[in-house]
A and B are shown apart, each in its own frame.
Chain A
Amino acid sequence: MGRHLFRGGIHPPDEKKRTAHLPTEVAPLPELIFLPVSQHIGAPAKPAVKKGDKVLKGQVVATASGFVSVPIHASTSGVVRSVGPYHHPMGAKQLAIEIEVDGEDLAAEPLAPIEDPLNADPNVIKSRILEAGIVGMGGATFPTHVKLSPPPESPIDSVILNGVECEPFLTADHRLMLERGDDIMCGLKLILNIFGLERGYIGIEMNKPDAIAEMARFATERGWCDIRGLEVRYPQGAEKQLIHAILGRDVPSGALPMAVGTVVQNVATAVAIWEAVTKGKPLIERVATVTGDGVKEPKNILIRTGMTLQHLVDQAGGLTDDCQKVIMGGPMMGMAQHTLEVPATKGTSGVLCLPAAEVRATGHRDCISCGRCVSACPMGLSPTTIFNLIDKDKVAEADEWSALDCIECGSCSYVCPAWIPLVQYIRYAKGRVMARRRELKG
């Protein structure tokens, strides 16, 4: 058990029984794939192909543009049909490369596997991670090579792999731990080597005893990792809460995990790193859970980037007639989508389809000051106060009440009996606070 419990949090029903026991199935190739050039936080990649070009699986179709950016690779072979604006999971249309799939799935010349990977030079590993376009696969999609390159004044003494998967419904990481345990373990070792460390941690919520047992088996076998079973409480998998639970360290307000000498990576990211290093394989596929009562046969699927939600949903038997909401990601932090033409990206951990009965209409009452959001906030904030302040345009005071510390986990909205979309108000407040800070600076 992780020894340190974080304050606040909620206990939503985990809804994972639908898919936790289902082995990952491989999705067949669709006719079209759409690769957004922005599948990560940071500068969008620059398209390197044009209409009519033939591309092979694994070929770079867009190059990194800057340090906080990664390349995008074709996830199968085919012909580029267009390069232009297309639906994006974040809402507005963004530049994407449309590929007409030829069905041959011909691979480009892979990057050369790195020999004796467990003893390789850290810099070689890091540049391979960049070349392979690897980003944080838990959903934040921050470029991994950046996260693994902290400035020298922030020495890293702890590495944690995140196998918590605290979002209800999702079981992609759970399946990965059951099916690819040793790859996760080896990926962790590569990260440890980058920092010259001997041992790391893997944090897993106690609602996945089989995954804990499986990972513990590899941990004993390999001997470079401690498995920590963690209390089942949302958002246990949030970076700061996870570090608190395992190490008892609190990342200071406004700082990154490296401020307490810690790097956190998702278990799926570790697998991607291992594959990039040993097989030269770029990040073009991942496990995603297609689930909810809005699809007929919920499943865990190995998907390629660029597949549309329609294609993924089809693999799960299609939508039910009463499906009313389609969410990319989990129910707590995922984004509702307006069309199934949206493509999956490197950060797509799941597609959640909710039937009408489980969708709550909007429209909220006034706050009744019940204080439940305050008790639920894992960051020790007072969500309703920030909401009230920003509702009255009091940006400076919203800043004083630490709007920027919000991690947008959604616990406050989840418990609000007045149905106030508190997180959304706080997101808005964060935007206003940051704009004001920039203004004040000059």
Chain B
Amino acid sequence: MSRTFFITSSPHVNDGDSIFRIMWSVVGALLPATLWGFYLFGMPAVRVTLFTVAAAVLAEAAANKMRGRADTTLDGSAVLTGLLLALNLPPSAPWWLCVFGGAAAILLGKQVFGGLGHNPFNPALVARVLLLVSFPAFMTDWAVDAGYLADAVSSATVLGEAKTFLMTPALGALPDVDYLDLFIGFRAGCIGEVSPLLLLAGAAYLYWRRIITIDIPLAFIATVFVITTAAWGFAPEKYLNPMAHLMTGGLMIGALFMATDMVTSPLNTKGRWIFGLGCGLLTAVIRLWGGYPEGVSFSILLMNACVPLIDRYTKPRKFGLAAPAKGGG
């Protein structure tokens, strides 16, 4: 008798994880925050999300076809990129902006570099910043005319008000904030960024699944906290309370879901601490002293650019490099 056997090199077992499972898990982890956005902002938010995700997926399919590559359309990465972009758009964004953004994220953010794994920058953030500098008016229009928030809050964001006050004190005042509301997510903002509570819950799941590590989010958020606390401590009448900094804008979704993107963050822990610290530093500087009210997207992109350098200078310590311990045992 003769049978044929399958031959591969060792090892012959694996932990069962895959890119597919990782990407769809992150999508799953974002669902609570997404649904919360739908609840708060109503149908417009649903529309923005659908258009953006659909555009991203179609762009991925088209790019695969053009490049003659294996079909990665439904491996979850395009859906995730589209979803992350959508969650970082205002609920009032027009459909064409979403389609343009979704397609740009995949094509300019990822496929031009060679597809998943080769993109130096977080694709969703590339698209978001592209939209922000191209269509600033649409990207900062926080008006809500549907959903729970329809008439509940003013259309300005906390960070926006704080920045206006900082630049021209005569035109405003530091916003009053209710921290519990902020933490749960009752505020204006981008669709998916408003609820620190639900974002943290999603991130906890990813941490448990070992898809994200604690180093980047912790370094990122702690650095923002420390710097904004210092600024607030010196001039509380001028700067926003650090707790408000933590719970508003895109810090939570950025630190937990965007900066932790595997492809565009450093390979090992030491590098990831440096990366997170850099993100936090830049975010705080932009928020406190820059021209934009928010700086999370810019800081992550800037730090993305540093990743090859960080990886080069944070080589893991090789086993057996330390001097052998004498007379151990």
Contacts and interface: CB of A to CB of B under 8 A. Distances in A.
Interface of A: 6-7, 10, 12, 158, 168, 240, 244, 246-255, 259-260, 319, 323-327, 331-340, 352, 354, 358-360, 362, 365-372, 374-375, 377-382, 384-385, 401-402, 405, 408, 410, 413-419, 421, 423-424, 427
A371 B266 contact: yes
Contacts of B13: 12, 168, 331-332, 358, 414
B65 interface: no
Interface stretch (B56-64, B89-97, B200-208, B317-325): B317-325
**A-B CB proximity, top 9 nearest:** A410-B11, A366-B117, A248-B328, A424-B9, A370-B262, A247-B329, A253-B320, A380-B318, A371-B267
B117 A367 contact: yes
A418 B10 contact: no
Most buried by A among B6, B8, B318, B320: B320
Contacts of A379: 318-320
Contact of B15 (A326, A382, A414, A423): A414
A373 to B, nearest CB: 9
B67 interface: no
A339 B4 CA distance: 7
Nearest to A246: B329
B122 to A, nearest CB: 12
B129 interface: no
B324 A252 contact: yes
A403 B150 CA distance: 60
A401 B315 contact: yes
Given A331-B13, A417-B18, A381 B5 contact: no
7 contacts: A249-B329, A259-B324, A331-B13, A335-B10, A337-B5, A368-B116, A382-B315
Which one of A168, A246, A360 has the highest number of Cβ atoms from chain B below 10 Å of its Cβ?
Answer: A360
A4 to B, nearest CB: 8
A333 B311 CA distance: 29
A36 to B, nearest CB: 19
A325 B5 contact: yes
A414 B11 contact: yes
A423 B14 contact: no
Interface string B1-37: 0111111111111110111011000000000000000
Contact of B12 (A246, A323, A325, A402): A325
Nearest to A253: B320
Interface in B299-327: 311, 315-322, 324-325
B12 to A, nearest CB: 5
Contacts of B21: 417
Contact of A369 (B10, B262, B328): B262
A252 B320 contact: yes
B115 interface: yes
Contacts of A244: 319
B324 A423 contact: no
B320 A255 contact: yes
B267 A385 contact: yes
A249 B325 contact: yes
A410 to B, nearest CB: 3
Q: Chain A at the B interface: mostly helix, strand, loop or mixed?
A: loop
Counting chain A CB atoms within 10 Å of each CB, the highest count among B5, B12, B265 belongs to B12
A249 B319 contact: no
Contact of B17 (A168, A336, A408, A417): A417
A362 B6 CA distance: 10
Contacts of A7: 319
B286 interface: no
A235 to B, nearest CB: 11
Contacts of A339: 2, 5
B14 A360 contact: yes
Contacts of B5: 324-326, 336-339
B6 A325 contact: yes
Nearest to A407: B319
Nearest to B266: A371
Contact of A380 (B2, B114, B316): B316
Contacts of A248: 325, 328-329
B192 to A, nearest CB: 22
B154 interface: no
B227 interface: no
B43 interface: no
Contact of B14 (A246, A247, A367, A413): A413
Nearest to B318: A380
Interface in B260-274: 262-269, 272
Nearest to B212: A370
A251 B324 contact: yes
A202 B106 CA distance: 56
A302 B253 CA distance: 59
Contacts of B114: 366
A405 B19 contact: no
A220 to B, nearest CB: 20
B116 A366 contact: yes
Nearest to A363: B70
A408 B15 CA distance: 17
A417 B13 CA distance: 12
B265 to A, nearest CB: 7
B12 A368 contact: no
B8 A417 contact: no
Contact of A354 (B12, B115, B117): B12
A377 B316 contact: yes
Contacts of A253: 318-321
A362 B8 contact: yes
A379 B319 CA distance: 5
Contacts of A247: 328-329
A158 B11 CA distance: 31
Contacts of A418: 18-19, 117
B305 to A, nearest CB: 15
Given A250-B321, A374-B316, 11 more contacts: A6-B319, A247-B329, A250-B322, A323-B3, A332-B10, A368-B116, A369-B262, A405-B319, A413-B10, A417-B22, A421-B8
Kindly name the residue among B14, B72, B311 whose own CB sees the greatest number of chain A CB atoms within 10 A.
B14
B12 A336 contact: yes
Nearest to A238: B319
A333 B8 CA distance: 11
A6 B320 CA distance: 11
Interface centre among B7, B10, B115, B118 (most CB of A within 10 A): B10
Given A168-B13, A326-B5, A331-B11, A385 B311 contact: yes
Nearest to B268: A374
Interface string B277-309: 000000000000000000000000000000000
Looking at A252, A334, A371, A378, the one whose CB has the most chain B CB atoms below 10 A away is A371
A244 to B, nearest CB: 8
Contacts of B322: 250
